[in-house]
Structure 1
Amino acid sequence: MTTAANEEAPVLLHAEGRAGHITLNRPRAINALNHAMVRLMDDALTAWERSDDIRTVVLTGNGDRGLCAGGDIRSIHDDVRAGGGAASVAFWRDEYRLNARIARFPKPYVALMDGIVMGGGVGVSAHGSVRIVTERSRIAMPETGIGFVPDVGGTYLLTRTPGELGTHLALTGSAVGAGDALLCGLADHYVPSERLPEFTAALAEADVSEVVARYATAAPEGELAAQRQWIDACYRADSVEEIVERLYDSGDRAAKEAAETILSKSPTALKVTLAALRRARDLGSLEEVLDQEYRVSAAAITAPDMVEGIRAQVVDKDRDPHWFPAELTRVTDADVARHFAPREGDELGLARGRG
C-alpha cells in the first residue's frame, strides 16, 4: 500500500521499509474519528495483514495536539437529532469491530499515544501490542461528561487496572499522564516526544523489540499510586451514591474533588458506567465486553443526556448540561437495566464469532 495521494484524506497510509504507517489526518479536530476513517484503517489492516512486505503497523496522529481526541461527537449529535441515531449505531458497529481486530492483529501494532488520546482514540491505540506514551500524553475516557458511557473496549481496559483505579477514571473522566497510563496498563513504554521521529524511523527495518529497547526510558512519576488507599476504599462501593459519600467522608482533598467532579456528570451515565464496569469484570474476553458496549451505546442515544451533553460541550459550548433526571437518586434500576437488554436482530456478535 503506497502513500495516499490526497493529503486531505482523513487517514494517510504509507510504507517505510517494513513498516506500514497509519496517520490520522484531521488535525484541526485533534484527529477525531468518523466512519470513513474507521473503514480506511480496517482496509489498511486487511492489506498489511496479508502482505509479506509489511511486518509492523505504526499508528500516529497528524498535528501537534494529539493522536486522537475521540469519536466525532458533533456528527453523532447531529445524526441523533436529524435521523434518530442510525448512522451512529452503524459507526459503532464498525468501530468496535476495528478495536477487536487491533487487539488480535497478528503483527506488531505500535501506537504512538503522544498528546491527547481520549475515547475512540484509546480504542485504536490501547488495544495495540506496543503502546508508547510521552511526557505530553493525556489519556482519558471522558464519556460520562457528555451523558455517554466508556466504550471502544474502555470498560474492558479499565476493569483490568490495579484496584479501583479504573472505576475512578471511568466515573470522573479524568485524564492521566504517562506514568499513570503505565500503572493502569493503558500503555507499555515511555519514549520522550523529541525522540519519536528517531523511534519511528528505526521501525522501518529493525524489530520492534530492538527499537523499544533502544529508545524507551523511565517515565515521570504519576499521581495515582499515592492515592490508591482512598481510591480503592471509596470506589469499591456498590453504588455511585455510596462512592460519592465515601469520597466526601474520606477527609482527603483529592477525594472530595473527585466527588464534586462525579456529581457534575450525567447521573444516568454514571450509574450505567458503574454497572458496565462491574459486568465487564465477569466477562472473559474483549469481544464479550464490546458486545455489551454495543448494546449500551445504542441504548444511550435513545435517552436525552447524550445529545444534551454534546450540545453543552461542543455545540453551544456553554458547559452547562441539563441532565434528565438531574439527580442520582432518580435514576432507577430499570433505567440502568434497559441499556444491557439484548437488541433483537442487531447484536454485535463478536464473542459469537470467536466461539
Structure 2
Amino acid sequence: MSTKAGSEVLFEKVGNAGVITLNRPKALNALNLTMIRHIYPQLKKWDKDSETDLVIIKGAGDKAFCAGGDIRGTYQKPYVALIDGITMGGGVGLSIHGRFRVATEKTLFAMPETGIGLFPDVGGGYFLPRLQGKLGLFLALTGFRLKGRDVQRVGLATHFVQSDKIVSLQKDLVDLKSPSNSDVMGFLYMFVFVGLLLFCCFRLFSAGSVEEIMENLKKDGSAFALKQTETLAKMSPTSLKLTFRQIQEGERMSLQEVLVMEYRLSQACMRGNDFYEGVRAVLIDKDQSPKWKPSTLSGVSEQAIEECFSSLGERDLKL
C-alpha cells in the first residue's frame, strides 16, 4: 500500500514498516511546507498505529537524502534515516534527532547556515555541542562538509554501510518482526572513531570567542588552520557570533529549550540584514559576494548579540 502527497513525498506501508520517500530528486529532495504538512501527521499516525513497528525515511534519486528545509520532533518507535547522499539543513532535522542514522560513502553532511547570514537551526544548538571536543563548534562556524564514513565516525550518523547495500538493508529492516530499538541496534553495526580532525578542532576551537578562534588559527599556521581562516572570513560576522553563543548555551539546554532559543534567533535574523543578503548572494544572484552588515567581527557588539537571545514574551515559541 502506498499513498502520494502531491508526489513530492511518498508514504508506503511495507509489512509492518512505514516508509517515507522524499521525492524531489531534481531539487535534492529539499523540504517545502507542503511536504512538512504531510509528513508530520503521517508520523503521528504511524506512531499510534499498533500495526506499524518501524519507520524508515529515505530520499529519491542517487544524489541526496535531503538538502534543506525544516522539521523537528520526537518519536517513540524505531526511526531509521537512510542518509545516502547530501544531508543539509532540513535533511539534518529529519535525521539527526532520530535514534538511527545510516550513512554511506555518498553522504555529505554540513550545516552551512553562517554563509547565508543564519545559524545552524533544526536543533543545531542541541546536537552540535554534544559532539566530541569542539567539533560541533567547528562545523557550526565553518560549514565544513563531512563526507562518507567520517559522518559516522564523529557520531552524526550511528552506522555506516556501502551505498549499494542500502536496498538490501531496507529489506532486512522491514523483515524484522515487531522490532524494538534494541533489536534495530543489534541489527546495525556501530563503529567508534577519534581522529585527526577531532584533535585539530579541540586544539584550535577551544576559545572564549570567535576572535580567539581566529587568533588560534592564525598562530597555528598549518594548511588546515589557514583554510579555516579563509572560510570563516567569508561568513557573516553576526552569524558567527550568534552561532558561537548558540553552541555555548545549547550545551546546557534540553532540546525543547534549544528550539525556543533558536526560534528567538530566527526572528532576530529576520529583523536583520545578513540573512536576506546571504540568500541573495548565494542562492538568487549567485555572485557569492554578500555584503555583510556589520562587515567585521569587531563591528558586532555584544549588546546586539544579547538582544538576539532575549525573550520574545508572548511571541516566544510554545512547545
Find the residue that maps to 2:290 and give its secondary structure. coil
State the partner residue of 1:113: 83
User: How does the TM-score come out when normalised to structure 2?
Assistant: 0.93
Is residue 182 of structure 2 the alignment partner of residue 182 of structure 1? no
SS at match of 2:315: coil
Give the superposition deviation at 1:185: 2.0
Q: Residue deviations 1:226-263, cap 9 Å, x none?
A: 13333212212111111011111113210111111011
Q: Does 1:136 align with 2:134?
A: no
Residue 257 of structure 1 aligns with an amino acid whose one-letter code is K
User: Is 1:47 paired with 2:16?
Assistant: no
Is 1:334 the equivalent of 2:303? yes
Map of 1:82 onto structure 2: none
C-alpha displacement at 1:46, in angstroms?
Answer: 1.3
Q: 1:316 maps to what in 2? A: 285
Structure 2 segments unaligned to the other structure (5+ residues): none
Instruction: Check if 1:238 corresponds to 2:208.
Output: yes
Output aligned runs, 1:71-82, within 5 Å.
71=69
Q: State the distance in 2 between where 1:70 and 1:265 align.
A: 19
The match for 1:18 among 4, 16, 20 is 16
CA contact (8 A) 2:18 2:55 kept: yes
How far has the Cα of 1:325 moved from its partner?
0.9
User: Which residue of structure 2 lines up, in the alignment, with residue 100 of structure 1?
Assistant: 73
Q: Is the Cα contact below 8 Å between 2:159 and 2:188 reproduced in 1?
A: no
Alpha-carbon contact 2:2-2:13 (below 8 Å) kept: yes
Q: What corresponds to 1:3 in structure 2? A: 2
Paired residue secondary structure (2:12): strand
Distance 2:310 2:188 in 1: 47
Q: Does 1:269 align with 2:268?
A: no
**Does the CA contact (< 8 Å) of 1:160 and 1:185 recur in 2?**
no
Q: In structure 1, which of residues 333, 340, 347 is the aligned counterpart of residue 316 of structure 2?
A: 347
Structure 1, unmatched stretches of 5+, are 72-94, 351-355
Q: With structure 1 as the length reference, what TM-score do the two structures score?
A: 0.84
CA RMSD for the aligned pairs? 1.9
Please report how far the alpha carbon of residue 264 of structure 1 lies from its aligned counterpart in structure 2 after TM superposition: 0.6
Indicate how the Cα distance of structure 1 residues 196 and 212 shifts in structure 2: closer, same or farther if over 3 A, else same. farther
Question: What's the CA shift string for 1:255-283, capped at 9, x where partnerless?
Answer: 11111101110000000000111111121
For residue 162 of structure 1, the aligned residue among 132, 136, 156 is 132
25-34 or 137-146: which moved more?
A: 25-34
Residue 218 of structure 1, CA deviation: 5.8
CA contact (8 A) 1:138 1:176 kept: yes
For the 8 Å contact 2:11–2:19, the answer to whether it is kept is yes
Between the aligned partners of 1:234 and 1:59, the Cα distance in structure 2 is: 36
**Contact 2:12–2:20 (8 Å) recurs in 1:** yes
- Taking only the aligned residue pairs, the percentage that are identical comes to 40
Provide the C-alpha distance between the structure 1 equivalents of 2:204 and 2:250, rounded to a whole number of angstroms: 19
Dislocated runs of 4+, deviation >6 Å = none
**Contact kept? 1:115, 1:137, Cα under 8 Å:** yes
Query: Secondary structure of the equivalent of 2:82?
Result: strand
